[in-house]
Amino acid sequence: MLTIPEGFTGSVLNMTMVNRVNIMQDTILRLVQTAGEQIPEEMQANITASMQQINMFKQSIKAERKTLMLEGSPDDRVLQPIEGIINIIASKFETALLNASSTMAIKLVYSEARQLRAVDYYLPGYIAAFIMTNGLIGFRRSSQTSTGVES
């Protein structure tokens, strides 16, 4: 059973806003670090003042991370796969909320290779079993004849 807490939607939207602000701040800091000396002092002062304003805005957002509750019995074998599926869906949802694109894609391609049949699995096993049995029977007969006992 999946339980969604009260106020989940508002919390997700506020956390998304905080995440966007964090990404924006990180981007600005990386640009300043990369450009470094090429940025005039006046502009660096403006950037510093802007970062302080952004921090004040971020603190004004009431962002609280809500937790989804996935309940099940300890012996339920499908609980962990369901948790994985929900995590993937949540991750995709968060990426979409941030208006970010995925950095990789998966494409399902069907091959034209022949599907294996039951005989493809069983025949090698039967052949190996016959070879091993033959080796044991051959070993038994050769050991009996070398001791002088014949059946």
- Express each pLDDT in 80-114 by its tens digit: 899 999 999 988 888 888 888 877 888 888 877 77
**Dihedral sign computed on CA atoms, order 98, 100, 106, 107:** positive
Summary count for the chain: helices (H), strands (E):
4, 2
**What is 113-142 written as a DSSP string?**
PPPP-HHHHHHHHHHHHHHHHHHHHHHHHH
* pLDDT, tens only, 29-73: 898 888 878 888 888 889 989 999 999 998 898 888 888 899 988
Please give the model's pTM, rounded to 2 decimal places: 0.56
Residues 37, 103 contacting (CB under 8 angstroms): no
> Which pair of structure tokens corresponds to residue 18?
């905080």
